Amino acid sequence: MSVLKKAFIAITVSASLVAATASMAQPASSEKHANRATELRQSIFKLLGSNMGTLGAMAKGKIALDAEVVEKNATRINQLSLMIADYTRTDTSKFDVETEALAKIWQDPTHFSKDIEKLTLASANLIAAAKTNDEGAIKKAIGGVGKTCGGCHDDFKKD
């Protein structure tokens, strides 16, 4: 199967998963539950940050561009994007947890799902670009992923 076809299938599957899981927010049942859910949620975003850091440095020319590393990290980002819905489902907004997440995540799940989907699509696009080994296309696609991170942070994360 072609790479693009695989990527397309991944996108289609993830989009339907996102649609199916939207609006299924579950309020945390206790402070302990809220703290645990917050830790897991932040773990996903920490891993996204860890994988994106290298890509950002490559896009800015701070370190040499390596298409294999780009493909590996973009694949991880794509897979992590598919976990965001599950790991943000527990609504922790009624508890005093240390978080930068805005309660809007659970108030506007359709919008939040759209922002997740943008990351899924942009990272699939970066996987495809990495396979072409075209430096310009790869840097552009890294920028495309970065935009979706920033877009969701503008909407759903405290400054």
CB of 1 to ligand HEC, least distance (A): 26
Query: Two tokens at 39?
Result: 């830790």
CB burial readout 108-146, b (16+ within 10 A) else e = bbeebbebbbbbbbbbbbbbbbbbeeeeeebbebbebbe
In the complex, least distance from residue 45 CB atom to ligand HEC, rounded to whole angstroms: 3
Minimum distance from residue 112 beta carbon to ligand HEC (Å): 6
* Contact yes or no for 41/101 (Cβ under 8 A): yes
| Distance, CA of 63 to CA of 10 (rounded, Å) | 30
Q: Shortest Cβ distance from residue 51 to ligand HEC (Å)?
A: 7
By beta-carbon proximity to ligand HEC, the closer residue of 89 and 153 is 153
Closest of 110, 91, 114, 115 to residue 102, by C-alpha? 91
Nearer to ligand HEC, 66 or 155 (CB): 155
Q: Which of 159, 117, 150, 134 is nearest to 11 (CA)?
A: 117
Of 14 and 38, nearer to ligand HEC (C-beta) is 38
Residues that bind ligand HEC (CB under 6 A): 38, 41-42, 45-46, 48-49, 52, 77, 84, 99-101, 112, 115-116, 119, 145, 148-149, 152-153, 156-157
To 5 degrees, how large is the angle CA 139–CA 2–CA 134?
Answer: 20
Query: By C-beta, is 72 or 153 nearer to ligand HEC?
Result: 153
CB 99, min distance to ligand HEC, A: 4
**Distance between CA atoms of 145 and 128, rounded to whole angstroms?**
13
Smaller CB separation from ligand HEC, 1 or 39: 39
